[in-house]
């Protein structure tokens, strides 16, 4: 078991390196750098001026070398000009190199400086992640139990009316990406002119103009049901359908197994058959699915935060990418990739724990 986790972590580390390098390479392509130079210095630079600007600011070396610097395993670049030093690890200019550290990459905790937010990347990411973790927490609280219950209920008796209705619901939600469900939700619940809000206002059932708020900006200060329900529902909905379908498939498969028949013919009541015999076996597959959902959930986060104007991680990512903010984009990528990989690791380990057949062999 320990060896397994070790091996898995090794592969994970390799994956992180490979992925971050790809991101680094893609964000540091010559056209990106040219754009950066023009936005930082002057838009009307000639090609030669761009080249010299890049050279002066440490972009002259090879991609691999710069990746090493960014990572913090290669000494940061330095440059001497008229007795003044500039460099990766020096803010502004310095008179000597002695005070500055030689290496300053993400390993040393130096994530760089965001060009859009004019703040250290680490601060920006920390703030946005805390925003997003609230969102994710509520999404998980809503999504996982709902999806599992729906899936188990419909898979328990295949072909029954409960099954058909729940499966129908699940299939519709899997066909509704966040940018569609978000739009529909806003129209139905958060518009003062259409949907159900005007009706409810007229009846006097709700105070204010809308049932829910169509933007989650207010939730950044204080989360309320009123301002947070729609973004959470929007992300959760797609996942609910997907996980419920997995759970249902897994449950119907388990329910058709011989050992369920054995249990039934032992005289175990249907309730107990489901609870004691089927559930554990049926939840192995969905568990891994929930964990592997994270890359897709991140999609949802980006869309929903953009749609509801909630300044979390997804929103920050969009800002960084849209404004060619290379350090921030790199930072976001590292966080995203690491989060995804950690969930994958948890999924692997959890699978082994849930499944005695693997654990003990």
Partner 1 sequence: MQDLSWLQIILKSAIAFAPVWIALALTFALSIRYRRRLGLYGKLFDSTVGMIGFAIVMFWIFTALFADLIITHDPLVQLSGMKNKLPGTAIANAAEGVYPWYLLGGDNLARDVFSRMVMGAREVLKIAPAATVFAFMVGITLGLPAGYFAGKFDTILSFIANLVLAFPVILLFYLLVTPEIVETGIPIWFAAALFLFPVIFFTVLFNSRFHMLPARRNLYVGLTLLIGLWAWAGLAFNKDPTGLFSMSPNMLNVFVSVVFVNSPGVFRIVRGLVMDIKARDYVAAGQTRGEGPWYIMLWEILPNARGPLIVDFCLRIGYTTILLGTLGFFGLGVSPESPDWGSTIDDGRRLLAIFPHAALVPAIALMSLVLGLNLLADGLREESLKD
Partner 2 sequence: MTWDPTQPILEIENLSITFFTRLRQIPAVMDFSCKVMAGEAMGLVGESGCGKSTVALAVMRDLGKNGKITGGRILFKGQDLTSMSDEELRRIRGSEIAMIYQEPMASLNPAMKIGAQLAEVPMIHRGMSRADAWALARQIVADVRLPDPDRMLNSYPHQLSGGQQQRIVIAMALMAKPALLILDEPTTALDVTVEAGIVALVKELGEKYGTSMLFISHNLGLVLDVCDRLCVMYSGEAVETGNVAEVFTEMRHPYTQALFRAIPLPGADKNARPLISIPGNFPLPHERPNGCNFGPRCDYFQPGCCDAGEIAMEPVPGSDRHATRCLKWQEIDWLAPPKAAHAREKLPPGEIVLKMDDLRKYYQVSSGAFGGGMTKVVKANETLSFEARKGETLAIVGESGCGKSTFAKVLMGLETATSGKIMLFDENVQSTPIQKRGADTVSKLQMVFQNPFDTLNPSMTVGRQIIRALEVFQFGKSDAERHARMLELLDLVKLPRAFAERMPRQLSGGQKQRVGIARAFAGGAKVVVADEPVSALDVSVQAAVTDLLMDIQRENGTTLLFISHDLSIVRYLSDRVMVMYLGHVVEMGTTAQVFAPPYHPYTEALLSAVPIADPTVTRKHIVLEGAIPSAMNPPPGCPFQTRCRWKSQVAGGLCEREMPPVVSLDGGHQIKCHLTAEQFASMEPVIRIAAE
Contact between 264 and partner 2 (CB under 8 A)?
yes
Q: Note the residues at the interface with partner 1 (CB under 8 A).
A: 11, 14-15, 18-19, 23, 26-27, 29-32, 35, 171-172, 174-177, 179-180, 183-184, 186-187, 190-195, 210, 214, 295-296, 298-299, 302-303, 306-307, 314, 317-318, 321, 329, 332-333, 336-337, 340-341, 344
Q: Which of 320, 158, 186 is nearest to 249 (CA)?
A: 158
In eight-state DSSP terms, residue 96 is: -
CB of 313 to partner 1, least distance (A): 11
Contact between 15 and partner 2 (CB under 8 A)?
no
- Residues 129, 331 contacting (CB under 8 angstroms): no
What proportions of the chain, in percent to the nearest 5, are helix, strand and coil?
Answer: 70, 5, 25
Phi first, then psi: give them for residue 199, nearest 5 degrees: -60, -45
Q: Which does 356 bind (CB under 5 to 8 A by kind): partner 2, partner 1, none?
A: partner 2
Contact between 276 and partner 2 (CB under 8 A)?
yes
- The angle that helices 225-255 and 279-292 make with each other, rounded to 10 degrees, is 130
Q: Which of 239, 212, 241 is nearest to 227 (CA)?
A: 212
Q: Which does 257 bind (CB under 5 to 8 A by kind): partner 2, partner 1, none?
A: partner 2
Contact between 261 and partner 2 (CB under 8 A)?
yes
When the beta carbons of 126 and 280 are compared against partner 2, the nearer one is 280
Give the 3-state secondary structure of residue 59: coil
Q: CA-to-CA distance for 14 and 267, rounded, in angstroms?
A: 52
Q: CA-to-CA distance for 327 and 112, rounded, in angstroms?
A: 6
When the beta carbons of 90 and 301 are compared against partner 1, the nearer one is 301
Q: Which does 177 bind (CB under 5 to 8 A by kind): partner 2, partner 1, none?
A: partner 1
Contact between 17 and partner 2 (CB under 8 A)?
no
């Amino acid at each position: 078991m320990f060896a397994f986790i070790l091996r898995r972590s090794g592969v994970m580390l390799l994956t992180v390196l490979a992925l971050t390098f790809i991101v680094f390479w893609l964000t540091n392509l010559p056209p990106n750098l040219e754009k950066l130079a023009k936005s930082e210095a002057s838009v009307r630079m000639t090609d030669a001026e761009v080249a010299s600007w890049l050279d002066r600011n440490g972009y002259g070396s090879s991609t691999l070398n710069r990746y090493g610097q960014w990572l913090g395993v290669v000494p940061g670049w330095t440059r001497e000009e008229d007795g003044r030093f500039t460099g990766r690890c020096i803010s502004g200019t310095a008179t000597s190199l002695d005070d500055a550290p030689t290496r300053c990459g993400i390993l040393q905790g130096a994530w760089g400086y965001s060009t859009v937010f004019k703040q250290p990347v680490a601060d920006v990411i920390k703030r946005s992640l805390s925003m997003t973790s609230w969102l994710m927490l509520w999404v998980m609280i809503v999504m996982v139990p709902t999806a599992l219950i729906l899936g188990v209920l419909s898979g328990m008796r295949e072909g029954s009316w409960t099954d058909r209705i729940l499966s129908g619901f699940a299939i519709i939600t899997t066909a509704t990406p966040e940018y569609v469900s978000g739009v529909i939700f806003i129209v139905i619940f958060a518009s003062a002119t259409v949907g159900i809000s005007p009706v409810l206002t007229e009846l006097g059932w709700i105070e204010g103009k809308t049932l829910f708020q169509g933007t989650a900006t207010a939730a950044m200060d204080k989360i309320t049901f009123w301002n947070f329900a729609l973004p959470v529902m929007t992300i959760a909905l797609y996942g609910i359908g997907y996980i419920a379908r997995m759970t249902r498939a897994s449950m119907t498969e388990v329910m058709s197994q011989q050992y369920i028949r054995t249990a039934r013919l032992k005289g175990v009541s249907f309730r107990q058959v489901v609870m004691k015999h089927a559930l554990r076996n049926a939840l192995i597959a969905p568990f891994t699915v929930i964990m592997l959902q994270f890359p897709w959930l991140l999609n949802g986060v980006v869309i929903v935060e953009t749609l509801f104007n909630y300044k979390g991680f997804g929103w920050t990512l969009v800002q960084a990418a849209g404004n060619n903010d290379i350090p921030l984009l790199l930072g976001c990528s590292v966080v995203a990739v690491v989060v995804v990989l950690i969930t994958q690791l948890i999924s692997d380990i959890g699978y082994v724990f849930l499944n005695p057949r693997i654990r003990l062999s």
